[in-house]
Amino acid sequence: MSFNTFGKIFRFTTWGESHGTAIGCVVDGCPPNILLSEKDIQSDMAKRRPGKSKFTSQRKESDKVEILSGVFQGRTTGTPISMIIFNNDARSRDYETIKNKFRPGHADYTYFMKYGIRDYRGGGRQSARETACRVAAGAIAKTVLKKLIGKKFKIKGAVIQLGILGCNKNNWNDKEINKNPFFCPDKQSVKLWEKYLLSVRKSGSSCGAIIELRASGIPIGLGAPIYSKLDSDIAGALMSINAVKGVNIGKGMNAAILSGEAELR
């Protein structure tokens, strides 16, 4: 069974391959009468866009989102919002050489065994390029939440560990996050991270990272009570992103060592 939809009341379906004509998504269930323009989405797209520094994918994409439906005279109408992002830098030839090879750490082999066919150009559907569509859908979700919940609602994220290097979370500074190419919230760690990642790149290797998300102003009781409870939907969503292998909520795995008297925060 193929399943490319996420959400229940507010739902989106993503489509597209890394080196196809375009990628996109359809958001269904967006409330009507919300002010929405492509500009609201573009600022989040800009943060994700490849080719911005030597530390990210070198692919050159403008990642311009075009809204094709569901918005009339600057407002959502309650009907499905279709968004499209054309692929500009889809150099398929680059992949001809690996046409008959399976890349380690990617899902090439799994796709081939599952479907008996695979689009080998940049990983096809398995490419992390799919996440661009989530960013677009997420930008709409944020716009809706700001309208519905109000100014109290805030959500932010940062990279708090890069490979073997952590950062000092006591130095967390929201404004710093978008000033460095690593989305690191601790200004003092940036230099070290840069030096480290340069050496990793030079050696032809790579490394992982840990991201921390902080949301505030969330209404009590959001989500379903058991299956599809907020923790569950967040964990399921994050774990569906390529390369994500762990999710902690609150104390996460460290909750195991908490005692009954422990102050939770």
Residues 154-193 that bind its own copies (CB under 8 A): 161-164
Question: Is 217 an interacting residue with respect to its own copies (CB under 8 A)?
Answer: no
Residue with token string 């680059």: 94
Binds its own copies (CB under 8 A): choice among 36, 48, 126, 144? 126
Q: Quick check: helix, strand or coil at residue 228?
A: strand
Q: How far is CA 121 from CA 18, 52, 101, 113, 129, in A?
A: 7, 22, 12, 17, 12
Question: Is 216 an interacting residue with respect to its own copies (CB under 8 A)?
Answer: no
Binds its own copies (CB under 8 A): choice among 111, 132, 140, 197? 111
**Rounded to 5 degrees, what are φ and ψ at 183?**
55, 35
In whole angstroms, give the CA distance from residue 242 to residue 101: 20
Site for its own copies in 72-91 (CB under 8 A): 72, 75, 77-82, 84
Site for its own copies in 40-59 (CB under 8 A): none
> What sign does the dihedral 255-162-137-20 (CA atoms) show?
negative
Question: Is 196 an interacting residue with respect to its own copies (CB under 8 A)?
Answer: no
Task: With contacts defined by CB under 8 A, name the span among 47-55, 108-116, 137-145, 179-187 that binds its own copies.
Answer: 108-116
Q: Which residues of 139-166 are buried (b: 16+ CB within 10 A; e: fewer)?
A: bbbebbbbeeeeeebeeeebbbbbeebe
Binds its own copies (CB under 8 A): choice among 56, 208, 215, 217? 208
Number of residues that bind its own copies (CB under 8 A): 103
Q: Which is nearer to its own copies, 114 or 179 (CB)?
A: 114
